[in-house]
Amino acid sequence: MASDENDLVAADIEALKRGGVDLTRIAETANSIYADLAHDCNSFAIEGDDDIAKTLRTKYEPGEKDGLEFLRMLGINIGTDGEKVVDVGKTFDDMNETANSEVSKGGKKA
């Protein structure tokens, strides 16, 4: 967090990395559910031309497609966000190491 008094930045680097890993696990779960459901939906064909088959095709299939697309995009977006959180943690870690190195060498405070 930034402080108005001295313009310092502080971050819990390990918490950021853990948060990113947790998001990645959620993305993997969403991707797994998507894969299972997509397989099951592709294996199930609504056959026939009776009222039940017509109703299933008009009422069920659009929701099925939208639900699968939602799960697919959820897995992609959460996975990307998880990777970015880990990257932010690494960036703060690198920044911290650089600052500590400069201080130990007697470098100037920015």
- Tell me if 67 sits within 8 A of 33, measured CB to CB: no
Structure tokens at 101: 């190195």
Q: What is the pLDDT of residues 90-101, one digit of tens each?
A: 888 888 888 888
Structure confidence at residue 29 (pLDDT): 93
Structure confidence at residue 31 (pLDDT): 93
Give me the residues paired with residue 9 across strands: 2
46 Rama sector, left if φ>0, alpha if ψ -120 to 50, beta otherwise? beta
Give the residue extent of every domain in the chain: 17-95
Q: What is the pLDDT of residues 14-55, one digit of tens each?
A: 787 777 778 888 899 999 999 999 998 888 777 888 998 888
